[in-house]
Amino acid sequence: MMDLDQWEWTREPASCSVKDGRIEVITRPRTDLWQRTYYHFRNDNAPVFQMRTEEKFFSFTVKTDFASGHRFDQCGVVAYLDSDNWLKASVEYENERFQHLGSVVTNHGYSDWATTEIDARVKTMWYRLSRREDDFRIECSPDGARFSQMRVCHLWAADGPVRFGVYACSPEDSSFRAVFTHMELSECKWPAHDGQQPDGD
């Protein structure tokens, strides 16, 4: 069980409970994380609960349970360095048929969004965030045993200590309960690359 006493909020939710390795969050309406791309707006008010580390190689695993039923409600894993540099992965509710399992990576104030549609009845998801210096890997799992890669990405600002943890938000006029459990910080479970070698000088 991770010691959550060292974690800190970057903006607090409407209400929260942190006890015995369990984080429960009630979101505030009209909270989100997004920077510029396509939509042109900048949203930087989602509650983020994180710890800080100087470790350059690690994996962080967490289980999420969410009772959302309103468009764009979301919760998941995050590495929030500052308003212009961060990544997140979550399930984002869309409608009664499907929701988006996806990730956003934001570098220098511009976000991207990579998604796939999953059934709207899915209400739990595991994530594993791994760091290898300034590169990151995001994985997901329906059961905490079999993880599938969502993406490999780079954070330009991750050249020193980083912060990582969990987040939940409601971009529209709604609110829901998100629960985070089974948090584990471990040695990096993302193996070093053993294929094509880097280009020479």
Structure confidence by residue, pLDDT tens digits, 35-58 = 999 888 899 999 999 999 999 999
pLDDT of residue 38: 87
Q: Determine, yes or no, domain membership for 201.
A: no
d(CA 122, CA 128): 18
Q: Determine, yes or no, domain membership for 22.
A: yes
Q: Determine, yes or no, domain membership for 12.
A: yes
Q: Determine, yes or no, domain membership for 197.
A: no
Whether pLDDT at 201 is above 70: no
pLDDT of residue 2: 87
> Which carries the bigger pLDDT value, residue 14 or residue 198?
14
Whether pLDDT at 1 is above 90: no
- Look up residue 187 and give its two tokens: 């040695």
Taking the model in full, what pTM does it have? 0.94
> Locate tokens 């989602």: which residue?
46
Q: What is the mean pLDDT of the chain?
A: 95
Whether pLDDT at 198 is above 80: no
CATH of residue 137's domain is: 2.60.120.200
Q: Which of 60, 101, 74, 69 is nearest to 13 (CA)?
A: 74
Whether pLDDT at 196 is above 90: no
Say if residues 172 and 10 touch (Cβ distance below 8 Å).
no
**99 — phi, psi (to 5°)?**
-140, 170
d(CA 192, CA 79): 21
For 21-38, b/e burial (b = at least 16 CB within 10 A) is eebbbbbbeebbbbbeee
Please report, rounded to a whole number, the percentage of residues in the chain having pLDDT higher than 70: 99
Q: What is the DSSP code (8-state) at residue 113? A: -
Q: Determine, yes or no, domain membership for 200.
A: no
Q: Determine, yes or no, domain membership for 35.
A: yes
Positions of E strands within the chain: 8-10, 15-19, 22-26, 33-35, 42-44, 48-53, 57-66, 74-82, 85-93, 98-107, 110-111, 114-119, 124-132, 135-141, 148-154, 162-169, 177-186
**Number of domains within the chain:** 1
| Host domain of residue 134 | 4-186
Cα-Cα-Cα-Cα dihedral sign, residues 39, 40, 43, 49: positive
Whether pLDDT at 191 is above 80: yes
